[in-house]
Chain A
Amino acid sequence: MKKTVQIKRAGSVLLFVLPALIPLFVFWIYPIFRSVWISFTDWDFMTPTYHIVFFKNYISLFKDSRFYNALWNTLIFTIGTLVPTIVIGLGLAVLLQKPFIGSGIVKFILFSPWITPTVAISIVWTWIFQPNDGLANMVLSFFGLPALKWISSSQTAMLSVIIVTVWKSMGYAMIFYLSALEKVPEELYEASALDGAGKWGQFFAVTIPSISPTTFFLMIITMVNSLQAYDQIQILTQGGPSGSTRTLLYMYYQLGFQEFKMGQATAVAVVMIFITVLLSLIQFYASKKWVHY
């Protein structure tokens, strides 16, 4: 009797778990391990045979200046996106914290880039960044500044990609901060006002520490997103000019889906997985240490 109940219970657990677990396993977990395996081979996708080459893909990767260039670009892109997104997102949230007439519309406008397809808006930005008749240079000349070549020059291409990414993500950060600011207890502000703190004093002594979990969460999310940015790079620059916007993910795409060097591509993927795991561990330990809950 007890056994049949157990079997029935196990059956219903499986029934509820498997519809999500099977695809999760087939398209997420297995591919991760499979990628690690492919990275030890010289497979080229076209031929069915391959050889196990052990660490050869990694060694050639670590000798390749393109790899270090991509790693550096990823770092620049990540920091260049992270800092403005967080600072502007927080600034806007503070300004919009108290509702006023029209604040709903302002929030709507600031958040709207996040829901529109990155491909569509990147095409619009490509047009804005045109060196001769683009809007960006019209604005610069309006302020008497010299024109830039934007996405056509390796000097400014990364800056252009960062501008588009920050444009898209700052409203998203703002929404997170708005809900975090709401949860800061009013007493903390009152107490610090009694201590004679001004607005800025309160901001640094009360607001910043109270919302640190959100800041931390946004930092990790932005880093993970930066590591995975593809759409805007593909439309705006295709990794160029001369590799100046080729990030690790874009290098992975080029090696795997343009050059069909599956072994080398998956080696880049493994490096990306490694970086993500490292970030997760940092998040896990650091959030215990510095973040004030």
Chain B
Amino acid sequence: MVKKYTIRDGIDAVIKWFILLVAGVFTAFPFVWMMVSALKTKAEIMNTNAFLPEKPQWDNFATILFESPIPKYIVNSLWISLVIVAIQLVTGAMLAYAIVFMKFRGQHLLFGIIMATYMLPVAATYIPSYIILAHRGLLNTYTGLIISSTVSIFGIFLLRQAFMQVPDGMVEAAKIDGASHFRILGHVVYPMTKSSFITFGLMSFISTYNNYMWPSLITNDSSKYMVSQGLRSFFIEGGAYGTEWALVMAASAVIVLPLLILFAFAQKWFINGIGGDTGMKG
């Protein structure tokens, strides 16, 4: 069937491009503005007439990278997130495995409880969780931060959804062969659901790395800050609320750019994880 292109189609295409252009510019502009401002001098920041800096001030980035605590915060966030993600993958995979492949009393109740927790506002748990950590002397410690984040309910959902696609016969066959549950999980289920593990790992990494409220409530030792809390304190103290916008923008850029690069390479996994098998009916 040959489609005839009319003037109407042309107008539609122009409108479509125009809308996407506006949306794209609106979305990208804060990032562009961040970069442009990060390269300006103090005087240029205050001058609203010039969009671009006369001469890019790469020194601003050198200051952030070599003379500010920002790299330290990035390292803190990086390794705390990696530890938390690793633990969440293990606890999540085991629980999802039990729910999908083991038969036990209270199975449905267990899943019901987990499902109910998914919607609850996590902040409502913060005061009692804070007290628990305080009683154990775990405020201001990485241990406290890590043990209070060892479970991702989102991850349990994602893996459960993926595990349900694994044919029962394969798991049964492995059981008859005398394989242990750990072996079945590692050698039968995991290879078939690897993509969900990657998605879960990336999503959980991003949300832990960026997390702000909970880490900032239980940490007040500035050498232990994660990026969000660290950047905020740099903004308020180092950046003195707006007198050092160029440096604050450079610090934001140093934190944001690696994530954008990671996302550029891993885009597929995020998009599959969100749009695909998140356990929603659709």
Contact = CB atoms under 8 A, between A and B. Distances in A.
Interface of A: 9-10, 12-13, 15-17, 19-21, 23-24, 26-32, 34-35, 38, 88, 91-92, 95-96, 104, 106-113, 115-121, 123-125, 127-128, 130, 132-133, 135, 138, 167, 170-172, 175-176, 178-180, 183, 211, 213-214, 217, 220, 224, 227-228, 230-231, 234-235, 249, 252-253, 256-257, 262, 265-266, 269-270, 272-273, 276, 279-280, 293
Given A111-B271, A116-B210, 14 more contacts: A19-B90, A27-B129, A29-B113, A111-B263, A117-B259, A167-B26, A170-B27, A176-B275, A178-B275, A213-B282, A224-B119, A228-B122, A230-B213, A293-B281
B46 A38 contact: no
Interface stretch (B55-63, B162-170, B187-195, B247-255): B247-255
A183 B231 CA distance: 42
B124 interface: yes
B209 A117 contact: yes
B45 A133 contact: yes
B83 interface: no
A124 B30 contact: yes
Contact of B98 (A17, A121, A272): A17
Given A109-B27, A124-B30, A19 B249 contact: no
Nearest to A230: B213
B275 A115 contact: no
- Choose among B91, B94, B128 the residue with the greatest number of A CB atoms under 10 Å from its CB: B128
Contacts of A115: 206, 259-260, 262-263, 270
Judged by DSSP, the binding face of B is helix
23 contacts: A10-B104, A15-B94, A16-B94, A20-B151, A27-B151, A31-B127, A95-B19, A108-B267, A111-B267, A116-B260, A119-B212, A120-B228, A123-B252, A133-B47, A179-B274, A180-B282, A214-B280, A217-B280, A228-B123, A231-B228, A234-B212, A266-B124, A273-B124
B248 to A, nearest CB: 6
Interface in B16-31: 16, 19-20, 23-24, 26-31
Contacts of B267: 104, 107-108, 111
